[in-house]
Amino acid sequence: MNITTKSIQNKWTEFTLTNDYGMSASILNFGGIITKMMVPDQHGKTENVVLGFNNYADYEENTNYLGAQIGPVAGRIQNAAFKLDDKTYTLEENEGNNHLHGGPNGFHQVIWSAETSQSNNEVSLILTHTGRHLENGYPGNLDVSITYTLNNANELTLNYQATSDHDTPVALTNHTYFNLSGDMKGTVHNHHVQFDSRYFAELDEELIPTGQLIEPVDTSFDFRNGRLLGDGLKPETAQQIIAGNGYDHYFMFGSEKAVTVSEKNTGRTMKIHTSEPGMVLYTANGLDEGLKLNEGLSQKYAGVCFEAQPHPAALHHDGFPNVILPTGETYRSYIKYSFK
Ligand code: FUC
């Protein structure tokens, strides 16, 4: 196991965690961005399974949030405002009238403090940051830590912790675009995905949840028995069309908070386990085309994000898992990616 560091343009550091079985994960202290994840396939061939920029400078304006940590609140906050404890808080509008992914100065734009630790069977990077009271419109000084741990079982775990001195909304996630074909050979149409979800959140034209939860029985939104993502990447239903002919929806997990993703050409399988109550499944329907990525130019559907999180729709509607972190309590969550 080891950790190496690389200075990027004299302002950021990239940490690469490597295990004894050929898997590695590279992470920038800027935005906590996962720039690369090298994972062996069934035949022992090690390739990159995430999308990342070829030039680090392109992460400065990462409007597609490649690999980034998202916070304090991932997802869209309708009309960039919410009410809490009888006060209305106004946030910056960065997508129409709405506030997306923590706003323009969200956690994806922060240079985090970094420490590393190492033992025989795992290596970790610990990033910490304090968001200041009302800095981006959110109440409370928010102390956040994200620990990335790679072990010898080819598992990368992200452990999130946050505490605040005010009641405040918190929904942390990671925005990595996966493509298990390795080195971005094509799109994610042939990725097979399975997870236990009985409800997903209906979206309006601005991709804001309407408050309605839909039962996906026997549609391309039903992943309980597994299906190819390609089934849903077409203009079949109003919900797919709204999302840009694909998925960009919040699914609530059932009793199993896990997702299994596999790609048959390489035999790679990734299992995601999380403590979060649901996830946004986003199939890169809106990914800008022609971005210079590590393995070529980006295109629509070049990756898939599994954004495990509570959803800020809870600020405006009943029926969604809570996003308010009470003063002095600790937000704790994890997302674990296991590869086979
Ligand atoms: C996802 C989506 C969005 C968006 C973005 C880059 O989380 O929900 O629609 O385009 O990230």
In this predicted structure, the answer to whether residue 88 has a pLDDT above a threshold of 90 is yes
Please give the pLDDT value at position 253. Answer: 98
In this predicted structure, the answer to whether residue 320 has a pLDDT above a threshold of 90 is yes
In this predicted structure, the answer to whether residue 124 has a pLDDT above a threshold of 90 is yes
Q: What gap in Å lies between CA 18 and CA 11, rounded to an integer?
A: 23
Position of tokens 């969550």? 333
Please give the pLDDT value at position 38. Answer: 98
* Domains identified in the chain, total number: 1
Q: Where residue 120 falls among pLDDT bands split at 50, 70, 90?
A: confident
In this predicted structure, the answer to whether residue 275 has a pLDDT above a threshold of 90 is yes
In this predicted structure, the answer to whether residue 313 has a pLDDT above a threshold of 90 is yes
Q: What is the mean predicted confidence (pLDDT) over 126-149?
A: 97
**What are the catalytic residues?**
175, 307
Asked if the bond preceding 72 is cis, omega within 30° of 0, the reply is: yes
Position of tokens 């299906």? 227
Instruction: Render pLDDT for 30-44 as a digit per residue (tens, 0 to 9).
Output: 999 999 999 999 999
Ligand 1 contact, 41 CB (< 6 A): no
Q: What is the mean predicted confidence (pLDDT) over 84-110?
A: 97
Give me Rg for the CA atoms of the chain.
19
Ligand 1 contact, 91 CB (< 6 A): no
The preferred substitution site among 63, 94, 250, 305 for testing ligand 1, maximizing ligand atoms within 8 Å of CB, is 305
Q: Which helix (H) or strand (E) holds 201?
A: strand 197-203
Q: Where residue 12 falls among pLDDT bands split at 50, 70, 90?
A: very high
Q: Are 46 and 267 in contact (CB under 8 A)?
A: no
Choose among 272, 251, 281: nearest CA to 336. Answer: 272
Q: What gap in Å lies between CA 149 and CA 140, rounded to an integer?
A: 28
Ligand 1 contact, 284 CB (< 6 A): no
Please give the pLDDT value at position 146. Answer: 98
Q: What gap in Å lies between CA 205 and CA 17, rounded to an integer?
A: 41
Look at ligand 1, atom 10, and give the residue with the nearest C-alpha: 286
Q: Is 16 strand, coil or helix?
A: strand
pTM: 0.98
Look at ligand 1, atom 5, and give the residue with the nearest C-alpha: 64
Distance 248 CA to ligand 1 centre (A): 7
Ligand 1 contact, 248 CB (< 6 A): yes
Please give the pLDDT value at position 218. Answer: 87
Range of the domain at 291: 2-339
Domain with 264 in it: what CATH number?
2.70.98.10
Q: What is the mean predicted confidence (pLDDT) over 101-115?
A: 97
Mean pLDDT in the chain?
A: 97
The preferred substitution site among 94, 100, 206, 247 for testing ligand 1, maximizing ligand atoms within 8 Å of CB, is 100
Amino acid at position 255, single letter: S
Distance 249 CA to ligand 1 centre (A): 9
Q: Is 79 strand, coil or helix?
A: helix
